[in-house]
Structure 1
Amino acid sequence: MKALRNVLTKALNVLAGVSFIAMVLLTCWQVFTRYVLANPSSWSEELVSYLFAWASLLGASLITGERGHMNIPILVDRMSPPVQKALNIFGELIAFAFSGIILVYGGIEISQLAMGQMTSSLGVAVGVFYVVMPLCGVLNMIYTVLNIVDICKGETQETKEA
């Protein structure tokens, strides 16, 4: 299980990093073409916005893998350890359901709907850029299952870092 988590995390870190570097380079190109060449590059602006969405969703999957998603520890910490474990598992199940319904199912639906629509500057089907939603949904679902296994074993984020 740890090997799968490590492979997924390394791959996501590379994808998010490459996306960030591409956004920086494309933004520099955009500034150069706008202010130096006086001929703004419209395709780079459009691509940066899609890369930003990709980087955000990939980053959200990384956070899910680290169990860094939203929670209210002040309430959970006051409970007994068995109740804490149950609430943590419940939180992961909610994240799993959200990922399955909204990201995977909804992402597939919106990707299919948008395949007939082309981007204005790039000339690529918009649905291609929406594919990140079901991809990250599946990654989130894998991470939540791994998180539940870790919770059942009694491993927490604090014990992993120690």
Structure 2
Amino acid sequence: MQDTHENSRPELDLSEMDTASEDISDVSWLDVPVLVIFVVLILIVATQFFTRYVLNNSLGWTEEMARYLLIMLGFVGSVTCVRKGSHIYLEFFYRYVPRGVIKPMALLVEVITGLFFGYIGYLGLAMIERTSGQKMITVPWPKAIIWYVVMAACAMMVLYVIRNIYRLIQTDADEVAHKKLENF
């Protein structure tokens, strides 16, 4: 007797699956720091894995450096997202407001995010002052390096937000609405 559950499985149609794009035209020289941090992070994590599970004698500094590089990657990677306009935002609201409200709403969102990034950068400056005399635990480097990167990334994000605001002001309201709604 045949199992009916086995025959009732839907076939997987690979032609309907999304494929990764090979188009890298939106990658800029400004993305190089993100790629460098990412590659260094991969190398350090691979070293950590190798020394811990193959040699059974892990290097102490790899965990701390991986943690700090991940923090830096998050902030420096956010600069790329702001530059491309690919940060997560609530598209839901654009769907249910009148088209004439979309441009002012998009401008307000940019102003709020710019203020947020500016405030985070300001807090990064305060953290630089607080950690200027501290060293990392396993590496004799100042902890303030992390906060310098965070502050610089926030400053870059603010500059890109200003650019985005300028572009939004220059763009027709119908075109802004079309761009915001084209994903639906």
TM-score tier after normalising by the smaller chain length: 0.7 to 0.9
Match of 2:157 in 1: 140
TM-score (norm 1): 0.82
Match of 1:110 in 2: 127
Match of 2:63 among 40, 45, 51: 45
In the alignment, structure 1 residue 127 sits paired with structure 2 residue 144: yes
Match of 2:77 among 56, 59, 73: 59
Name the CA shift for 1:92/1:37 in 2 (closer, same or farther; >3 Å).
same
Kept after mapping to 2: 8 A contact 1:77/1:84:
no
Q: Distance between the aligned counterparts of 1:48 and 1:111, measured in 2?
A: 20
Letter in 1 for 2:46: C
Letter in 2 for 1:124: W
Quote how far apart the aligned CAs of 1:45 are: 1.6
Quote how far apart the aligned CAs of 1:36 are: 3.0
Which whole-Å deviations, capped at 9, do the CAs of 1:18-59 have from their partners, x for residues lacking one?
Answer: 111111111111122223333211112211111111111111
Which whole-Å deviations, capped at 9, do the CAs of 1:117-156 have from their partners, x for residues lacking one?
Answer: 1111011111111112211111111111111112112265
Name the CA shift for 1:77/1:35 in 2 (closer, same or farther; >3 Å).
closer
Letter in 2 for 1:130: W
The runs of 5 or more residues in structure 2 that have no matched partner are 1-26
Quote how far apart the aligned CAs of 1:68 are: 2.5
Give percent identity, aligned residues only: 23
Kept after mapping to 2: 8 A contact 1:96/1:141:
yes
Letter in 2 for 1:151: L
Q: Figure out how many residues of one structure are paired with residues of the other and give that number.
A: 151
TM-score (norm 2): 0.73
Letter in 2 for 1:35: Y
Quote how far apart the aligned CAs of 1:158 are: 4.0
Kept after mapping to 2: 8 A contact 1:30/1:40:
yes
Cα root mean square deviation, aligned: 2.2
Kept after mapping to 1: 8 A contact 2:82/2:160:
yes
Match of 1:24 in 2: 42
Kept after mapping to 1: 8 A contact 2:134/2:143:
yes
Q: Distance between the aligned counterparts of 2:59 and 2:87, measured in 1?
A: 37
Quote how far apart the aligned CAs of 1:87 are: 0.6
Q: Distance between the aligned counterparts of 1:147 and 1:106, measured in 2?
A: 23
Q: Distance between the aligned counterparts of 1:44 and 1:50, measured in 2?
A: 10
Which whole-Å deviations, capped at 9, do the CAs of 1:97-121 have from their partners, x for residues lacking one?
Answer: 11111x2210000012111111110
Which whole-Å deviations, capped at 9, do the CAs of 1:61-90 have from their partners, x for residues lacking one?
Answer: 211222223432232233334321111000
